[in-house]
Amino acid sequence: MRVVLAVVALLLTGCGSGATAAPPQYNAADVMFLQMLIPQNQQGIEIVRLAPARPLPAGVKELSAAIEVTQQTEIEDMRRWLREWNQPEAMDANPQAHAGHGGMKMAAPDLVGALRSAPDGEFSRRFLDVLTGQQQGAVELAQTENGTGGGINAQARDLARRVIESRTAEVKQLLNTQT
């Protein structure tokens, strides 16, 4: 009798019958967040990879190495989630498509290019300025995912929380280096 009741209950709720769809595990805001954070992280990695060969305080070099590992791991996770969701990794090329997340928060490409060619005497100050701004952009992007952006995926929202915490701490460390 209990088996029959369980089967009836499953049929009434649509379980196993395909009658009702499961609620979405993600929404467009989650997808946009990941699609925007991937290139943002890639740029951060591009910047910190300049650190080992240039004159910087040892603490900044250590922080740069940690940033590279963290952001590469995040990229791998985000790419995997997008694949699992059958969503493209690349975001919409139309800049207006990203307005819901406040637009792209990356350092201007000319700043990164100028950093690459900066003389050693200016490199440390420029590096700290560019990396600080770049990391602050990630914080702003993540705040949108967990705030007005409306993301619903638990993994994406947790990633946003971790980005806010880690990048805020990194920005503080970078600012303390500048003073």
List the structure tokens of 19.
Answer: 């009658």
pLDDT at residue 48 greater than cutoff 80: yes
List the structure tokens of 8.
Answer: 């009836």
CA angle 89, 47, 71 (to 5 degrees): 45
CB atoms under 10 Å from CB of 92, counted, come to 11
Question: Tell me, what's the pLDDT at 102?
Answer: 57
The stretch 105-128 carries a mean pLDDT of 87
Q: What is the spatial distance between Cα 107 and Cα 134, in angstroms, rounded to a whole number?
A: 5
Domain 25-178 CATH superfamily:
Ferritin, core subunit, four-helix bundle (1.20.1260.10)
Q: What is the spatial distance between Cα 114 and Cα 148, in angstroms, rounded to a whole number?
A: 34
Identify the band that residue 111 occupies on the pLDDT scale cut at 50, 70 and 90. confident
Domain map (residue ranges) of the chain: 25-178
CB atoms under 10 Å from CB of 67, counted, come to 24
Q: What is the DSSP string of 21-40?
A: PPPPS--HHHHHHHHHHHHH
Question: Tell me, what's the pLDDT at 166?
Answer: 96
User: Which stretches of 23-179 are DSSP H helices?
Assistant: 28-48, 58-84, 109-116, 120-146, 154-178
Assess contact for 107 and 47: CB atoms under 8 A.
Answer: yes
pLDDT at residue 44 greater than cutoff 90: yes
Tell me the C-alpha to C-alpha distance, in Å, between residue 55 and each of 61, 108, 112: 9, 23, 17
Question: Tell me, what's the pLDDT at 7?
Answer: 38
Assess contact for 18 and 77: CB atoms under 8 A.
Answer: no
